[in-house]
Homo-oligomer: A and B are copies of this chain.
């Protein structure tokens, strides 16, 4: 690589062992490439300098934050620059206009914490909230547990500052509550997985802080009864702030990991919350009644925030429980809420067909599940089976009117399925859109588009 501009010398991560940690994201089996350079930008000017240099020398650039991506989108590229923006973490809160103007490196949970002093909230809450950055959330249009009531990251981004390949700084959207001057390119950049430019600042819309959430936990004997519970919640006039589903095998996996009080032979569990100001208590009682009527065999209601949190512990144990179980592929399909039961059934049919174990859990309130297929990585037949199951789950989601990714993004992992969902003409059009902003093709190449 030609020598970097002097300004960037002390932004480099020189220690190769440390640098290697910037080479991977949280995608299963990620391995850092042999040769790449890590630049930790401190401000917009650093980003401009990197993108000017990269364009001049046609070097691929991977923008990245905390690398919590599960799709390969934040992994370094051989011979390229990993442009880390974690250190661009300024926060300006305007409580009158109810906006936060932030750098991409701000950690999601840190922003939430800072907002409590203003009685304001920024809802998007991916499971990795404690470590993931706003820049990464914007790159993937991250969702999380709150989406059933609050929507996704895109619903909270009013405007962006983006540095384009070559170093030009552009601004999208607005700071004001409304604004329709010219095209709004904000939504194009949100979810573009670093393939168009590097976000250096975002204007985020905030909401008045809700109440601390209270929780209902409902246990069902069968998957069918669990789905009747989901349907009963859809009829509530006050939308729950969280509706999480654990299927039978997920519950068994959690109970194997530790005793969280779930009956090991349950057909399904729903965890439901309300954070409605002044009404969380009434709401959870009403949800409990609706879930009991729908056929829950056991319903527990939290009386206060501490108890509410206890009830969620089993759900939180899911990821470590699954991780402890060994190699797996993780899905992220999203289907109409009314088809969730069909999706869970299909996932287990697919697993059975390949002789694999599977669990199926996720965000039942918005139709976005994260089925996992487990495999023995030393058994080629199981590895191939898991790969096949991954693709068949995508096809199952399509057949149910759904999409291949609800919130994780396409990355490298799902790029082979992109055309299957969008069609060749649309992929060609989206490549042309990319070329408009990145004519040299140096922005996160190989991600989204295979």
Contacts and interface: CB of A to CB of B under 8 A. Distances in A.
Contact of A178 (B147, B180, B239, B429): B147
Nearest to A402: B176
A336 B237 contact: no
Interface string A7-46: 0000000000000000000000000000000000000000
A162 to B, nearest CB: 11
A50 B180 CA distance: 28
A236 to B, nearest CB: 8
Contacts of A112: none
Interface size class of A (residues with CB under 8 A): 35 or more
A401 B406 CA distance: 35
Given A184-B154, A184-B191, A338-B96, A239 B179 contact: no
The winner among A147, A186, A190, A237 for most chain B CB atoms within 10 A is A237
A402 to B, nearest CB: 6
Contacts of A148: 177
A335 B410 contact: no
Interface in A371-429: 401-410, 414, 418, 421-422, 425-427, 429
A123 to B, nearest CB: 14
A409 B192 CA distance: 26
A183 B188 contact: yes
A52 interface: no
Contact of A175 (B190, B191, B401, B407): B401
Contacts of A366: 176-178
A168 interface: yes
A180 to B, nearest CB: 5
Nearest to A172: B426
A421 B171 CA distance: 11
Interface string A421-450: 110011101101110100000000000100
B336 A175 contact: yes
Given A174-B403, A177-B147, A182 B337 contact: no
11 contacts: A96-B337, A97-B336, A148-B177, A171-B426, A174-B403, A176-B403, A178-B363, A181-B403, A181-B410, A181-B418, A185-B187
